[in-house]
A and B are shown apart, each in its own frame.
Chain A
Amino acid sequence: MDKIRESILTTSRASKLERRGKIISLTCLGGICLVVVAIFGFIAYRGLMTFTSDHVSIIKFLTGTEWNPSVSKNGAPLVGALPMIAGSFLITILATVLAIPFAIGTALMMTDITPKTGTRILQPVLELLVGIPSVVYGFIGLTVVVPAIRTVFGGSGFGILSGTFVLFVMVLPTITSMTVDSLSSVPKDYRSASLALGATRWQTIYKVVLRSATPGILTAIVFGMARAFGEALAVQMVVGNATLMPYSLVAPASTLTSVLTTGIGNTVMGTVQNDALWSLALILLLMSLAFNLAIHLIARRGAMKR
């Protein structure tokens, strides 16, 4: 009896290890949370400086079309971010919309149309595309896409359209591989049931498979958009970097990220110019939060439907 009692009441090696493991993972988790909070806090603090200490109104910042932080007009610096906001959104939306049909088509090849050869050939290609660094995409864009657009549309070739093509290639693998995941998670039974009811393979694909996979595909699209919105280097190399409203798709323009990458090294911390860039970073941060939120909402709605 006493032996049992003793063995139960003393802490065993296993439970000590367990406790130690718990402490280590909690510490790591706490550290990461701290970093995230610090990043948010820092960007928000710097980003809001434009409005608090430099007396720019938020409305003017979001709707102004003139970006020239070193020049002041009526007591406030000229920091209208609309050209970049518009540029970012335009490039993101165009690239994603262009990528969607290709991504879904490719994904269907891999899951439903020719699963064997499709997966054997396309899977490595997709993995390769994901692994290529963005500077390489930008370089190809610069040497191939920009001259091509210059030849076809005239002008310099730099602009939203070039950015769109480069980003299209960059988001394609993201959207495709996530779409593949969501298509292959559609139960095989759905396909069998549909075929057994006299549906053709194509009817089965668009009435059952695509429909059941819609939440997953939407999530894939939002992920692609988030990637496009945040991509800096490749876009900066082909977009032209003129902080002008993008009235034409083939005229030099800019995005939030491209202005940040070109500008952040040339300003001094604490100056208006620097603060304004932080405000752009804040917008980027808020947008990625919005994308995340959208992904969660879609996932939740998808889960409810099941």
Chain B
Amino acid sequence: MEKQILTTKNVKLSYGDFEALHGIDLAFNEHEITALIGPSGCGKSTYLRCLNRMNDQIDGVNISGEFKLHDTDIYGENTDVVELRKHIGMVFQQPNPFPMSIYDNVVFGLRVAGVRDKAKLDEAVQTALKQAAIWDEVKDKLDQNALALSGGQQQRICIARALAVSPDVLLLDEPTSALDPHSSRQIEATLLQLKEQYTIITVTHNLQQAARIADRTAFFLQGDLIEAASTKQIFMNPEHEQTRDFITGRFG
């Protein structure tokens, strides 16, 4: 049995009167990539944002259920959201580097955490950019504005930025959907390397991508988790009819 790092039980979320998640039980193994798939609007992003409490800011949201990172309650009374997010990093659908230099982007998380030591920051930048597989491309222009880079490069800067604070879990919400196929493949390769050190949860609407990189795959449908199993099983021999229909492209 793999070690579970993040577990959620009976997760329900409603935006005002609209219930977007109807009770999700899902757990994530350490050093694995889990892909969340499902038709658009089924609640994948909503669920993902619960994990690092990004839904907290939205007005009228009601969240219930049990969320545990190791044994710590993510929504516990004494849980500091700011600290929590250093353990659970996030990369968004649209590459969103800040309008500042590559260097300043990558050290952002460390700086807000109070790290001032230049040597430490330099080292973190190098490590994070190497992990995100973009060091060679940008090492000579770290002081250049990150927005001058291509979309794929920007997304890898965003990955590096998330990695620089050394999270345990990395959440990615359709990280390649705004990118061309070549850049997408580069990001996929990067994620495969990263799982040695991180636990990765990625939403994707690209089924081939899930098949290529994910160890486990979870299929969402209209706010319910239909099935979660090894990627192989989901794609070769799913238990549920709906999963089969989705995988074979009969809907969604």
| Interface residues of A, Cβ cutoff 8 Å to B | 116, 187, 189-190, 192-200, 203, 207-208, 211-212, 305-306
Contacts and interface: CB of A to CB of B under 8 A. Distances in A.
B158 A193 contact: yes
Contacts of A193: 90, 92, 96, 98, 158, 161
A301 B92 CA distance: 28
Contact of B165 (A198, A212, A306): A198
Contacts of B92: 189, 192-193, 196
10 contacts: A189-B92, A192-B54, A192-B90, A194-B112, A195-B54, A195-B57, A196-B90, A197-B85, A207-B112, A306-B147
Given A194-B108, A306-B147, A200 B99 contact: no
A187 B112 contact: no
Given A189-B92, A211-B100, A305-B99, A196 B108 contact: no
Contact of A190 (B83, B86, B96): B96
Contact of A198 (B83, B96, B100): B83
B149 interface: no
A196 B162 contact: yes
Contacts of A190: 96, 98
Given A198-B86, A200-B112, A211-B100, 20 more contacts: A189-B92, A189-B94, A192-B54, A192-B90, A192-B92, A193-B92, A194-B108, A195-B54, A196-B54, A197-B85, A197-B109, A197-B162, A198-B82, A198-B112, A199-B112, A200-B82, A207-B112, A212-B99, A305-B99, A306-B147
Interface string B105-134: 000110111000000000000000000000
A203 B57 CA distance: 15
A187 B97 CA distance: 11
B112 A203 contact: yes
Contacts of A305: 99, 145, 147
B52 interface: yes
B38 to A, nearest CB: 22
Contacts of B152: none
A208 B85 CA distance: 17
Contacts of A208: 98
A196 B98 contact: no
A305 B112 CA distance: 23
Interface residues of B, number: 27
A73 B109 CA distance: 68
A197 B128 CA distance: 14
A208 B112 CA distance: 11
A246 B54 CA distance: 55
A195 B162 CA distance: 11
B89 interface: yes
Contacts of B83: 198
Closest 8 CB pairs of A and B: A197-B109, A189-B96, A196-B90, A198-B86, A199-B112, A198-B85, A203-B112, A193-B96
A199 B57 contact: no
B98 A198 contact: no
Contacts of A196: 52, 54, 85, 89-90, 92, 162
Contacts of A211: 98-100
A199 B113 CA distance: 7
Contacts of B59: 116
A211 to B, nearest CB: 7
A187 B57 CA distance: 16
A50 to B, nearest CB: 48
Given A189-B92, A305-B145, A195 B99 contact: no
A200 B145 CA distance: 24
